[in-house]
Structure 1
Amino acid sequence: MTARYCSLAQQPAPAYPPGLAAERLGALACGRRMWVNGTVLHYCFFDGDSDASVITVPGTGRTRRVSWVGGEEQRDVVRACFREWQDLGIGIAFTEVGDRSEAELRIGFQAGDGSWSAVGKDALRIGLTERTMNFGWELAASGDRCTVLHEIGHALGMLHEHQSPFAGIHWDDEAVYAELAGPPNHWSRDRTYFNVLRKLESDEANGTVWDPQSIMEYPFPSGLVLEPEQYRGGLHPPGTLSAADKEFVLRWYPPTGPGGLLELVPFRSVPLGLGPGEQADLVIEPPETRDYTVGVFGEGDAVVVVFEEREGEPRFLAGRDDGGTPYNARLAARLVKGRRYVVRVRLYSSWGSGETAVMCW
């Protein structure tokens, strides 16, 4: 029987200013989907009668509601998989909340809608009443942890491993289209191309070496892969987190140490001294309640995010990515005296002197 596959929705390609150097484009292509390290990702499960999709019943023209609500056993599988990722010691934390307005990740269980997830920060573009992740088949009865681990991998910013340009896979394209057009997936040619046959750019891939053991690798039956020859009989990943999966998330989200944060005082710039891919973490304790601007200066592409600490936990307040424009990342936020805010700056790329600084004013 053909495996049931994760089906990512096609997103518009990001628009970057023309004329950017290749190294800047590469850094932006990879980094734009990743969270800043130290983020607490809040997740919730849809649980109300109104949490449903309206679909058209084939052949009838009638519509009916299909619930997004999953049973407690289903939810427990998802909770356990969040813990498995977090137990790697990554600098990202997962916390379940009941209020969807506080959740970056909103999880549904609509049967027949496939399993999928927004990739990394793309979740922030999705409305609060909509799902950022769905599981379209029973998880608890089948013990299907690999699907859940896979979708959480997407939520952390990982992409499909079989689409890596370093895999060297030569497909029998028409055999792939035919396989995925049948049950249980029933995919269109466009969906199959986007999720299987399309090659990622080298800067988008999870690593510079193909990992056929990755949790982000699909299993494939025989007759679809022509090359490499050893996979003509099928590709069968174990469905667990591989060593390369762990290395990837620990590289992007290293453990956050107990050391103190740099202090960001209004009207005083703080030099960052960052290299590409590195991050600085600072704290603001505003002397008065008012609207503030937080900005990065220098010859670099960066993302800046401000969190407000609530009961010792950082909650996303505002973020800005300069997107490779000639202008540095800058955001405005209302900060309240007596509260504590954490500013996280991650550098994508730099040029010239490479010197960057951050200021609050």
Structure 2
Amino acid sequence: MTGRYCSLARQPAPAFGPELTAERRGALVSGNRMWVNGTVLHYYFFDGDADGSVIPVPGTGSVRRVSWGGGQEQRDVVRDCFREWQDLGIGLSFVEVGDRSEAELRIGFQRGDGSWSAVGRDALRAGQHDRTMNFGWDLAAPADRGTALHEIGHALGMLHEHQSPFAGLAWDDEAVYADLAGPPNFWGRETTYFNILRRLDPDEVNGSVWDPQSIMEYPFPSGLILEPEQFRGGLHPPGTLSTVDKEFVLRWYPPADRSRPPALVPFRSVPLGLGPGEQADFTVEPPETREYTVGTFGASDAVAVVFEERDGEPRYLAGRDDGGTDRNTTIRARLVKGRRYFVRVRLYSAWGPGETAVMCW
């Protein structure tokens, strides 16, 4: 029998037109869920009986509320795992908040609902009162701490390692379906296919090689994997961050430059000069309070985000992704005189002649 597994919810795949080159499409697929570097991700723990799901009680016609709250010990494990990721020196940071409206990541502990997380920026699609992450079993046992590291890996934009096309895993499909249909997962065939058997696009995965030691790799018992031969007896990752895990997140989120970014002055464009995956950061100190537009120019695919500085840290205000389209990113937002804002632009790819640029007006 297999262990308890993370179950990702199916999200609509990005729709790209047939006119996109393979290089341009690959850049979009690899980066579309990743945060812009320098983002402060605020996380909130649901707590108490008022937060939870309303589910029907079979045979009664009534409903009951299932709490999303978790105990202090459970929350402490998750806090510790956020610190472990951040202590790698990545350019993202994590801050716990007590107001769910301030949080990009909202964490529940509903037993029986499995452990799962939105992947990267998919968390922004969730409603303000909805979970973006859940832990469906006790995390207190040392062997289950890896679950929290794994789900935070998803929140950073990482996907399941065993689904990498570079893994070369040949499955006994029917054995996998039968095993996951039983306890403790009780998965249907569609969930099993989506989370285990389905191979990812080469551009989606967490690197160009398979890492069987990754925190994003499931453990598997014997009898499920046919090839490679050395894994017929099972696959047993250690449940810790591997060297490749650390290299991946540091490549996407290198240590933040602590110096103040250059100013983006209204009506003055700034050339970007970025390569694929690179990012430019700016500050905006508006000379008057009004609605402004922040936009990019040039034949490029990019994501731009505006943050407002509050209590000394950037809070997400608005963002726009023009990836895969022929239009440029434009963000309209009300900026207030006397406050400081940050504009971060990450390039997927530049696919035409001429320079790319950003301007605020």
Instruction: Give the structure 1 partner of residue 167 of structure 2.
Output: 167
- How far apart are the structure 1 equivalents of 2:267 and 2:87? 39
Q: Give the CA deviation at 1:260.
A: 2.9
Q: Does 1:351 align with 2:351?
A: yes
**Which residues in structure 2 correspond to 1:132-151 (within 5 Å)?**
132-141=132-141, 144-151=144-151
Gaps of 5+ in 2: none
- How far apart are the structure 1 equivalents of 2:102 and 2:301? 29
Instruction: Give the structure 2 partner of residue 191 of structure 1.
Output: 191
Q: Which amino acid aligns with 2:217?
A: E
**Which residues in structure 2 correspond to 1:1-361 (within 5 Å)?**
1-58=1-58, 62-141=62-141, 144-353=144-353, 355-361=355-361
Q: Deviation per CA, 1:190-241, whole angstroms, max 9, x where unpaired?
A: 0000000000000001100000000000000000000111000000000000
Using structure 1 for the length normalisation, give the TM-score: 0.98
- How far apart are the structure 2 equivalents of 1:301 and 1:85? 29
- How far apart are the structure 2 equivalents of 1:157 and 1:11? 13
SS in 2 for 1:282: strand
- How far apart are the structure 1 equivalents of 2:19 and 2:50? 48
Q: Which amino acid aligns with 2:85?
A: W
- How far apart are the structure 1 equivalents of 2:319 and 2:354? 22
Q: Give the CA deviation at 1:334.
A: 0.4
Q: Give the CA deviation at 1:323.
A: 2.5
Q: Deviation per CA, 1:294-348, whole angstroms, max 9, x where unpaired?
A: 0000121000000001121000000000031000111100001111000000000
SS in 1 for 2:106: strand
Q: Is the 8 A contact 2:323 2:348 kept in 1?
A: no
Q: Give the CA deviation at 1:176.
A: 0.3
- How far apart are the structure 2 equivalents of 1:279 and 1:334? 24
SS in 2 for 1:238: coil
- How far apart are the structure 2 equivalents of 1:223 and 1:92? 40
Q: Which amino acid aligns with 1:95?
A: V
Greater Cα offset, 287-296 or 23-32: 23-32
Q: Deviation per CA, 1:8-57, whole angstroms, max 9, x where unpaired?
A: 01111122233111111111111110000000000000113221112234
Q: Is the 8 A contact 2:286 2:335 kept in 1?
A: yes
SS in 1 for 2:349: strand
SS in 2 for 1:262: coil
Q: Deviation per CA, 1:235-279, whole angstroms, max 9, x where unpaired?
A: 000000000000000000000122331110000000011000000
Q: Which amino acid aligns with 2:337?
A: K
Q: Is the 8 A contact 2:294 2:330 kept in 1?
A: yes
Identity %, equivalent residues = 79
- How far apart are the structure 2 equivalents of 1:205 and 1:26? 11
Aligned length: 361
- How far apart are the structure 2 equivalents of 1:335 and 1:107? 30
Q: Which amino acid aligns with 1:115?
A: S
SS in 2 for 1:263: coil
Q: Is the 8 A contact 1:167 1:210 kept in 2?
A: yes
Q: Which amino acid aligns with 1:50?
A: A
Q: Is the 8 A contact 2:299 2:326 kept in 1?
A: no
Q: Deviation per CA, 1:124-174, whole angstroms, max 9, x where unpaired?
A: 000011100000001114552100000000000000000000000000000
Q: Is the 8 A contact 1:300 1:354 kept in 2?
A: no
- How far apart are the structure 1 equivalents of 2:178 and 2:225? 13
Q: Is the 8 A contact 2:302 2:346 kept in 1?
A: yes
Q: Which amino acid aligns with 1:149?
A: L
Q: Give the CA deviation at 1:60.
A: 5.6
Q: Which amino acid aligns with 1:231?
A: F
Q: Which amino acid aligns with 1:252?
A: W
SS in 1 for 2:308: strand
C-alpha change, 1:329 and 1:336, in structure 2 (3 Å) is same
Q: Which amino acid aligns with 1:246?
A: K
Greater Cα offset, 285-294 or 45-54: 45-54
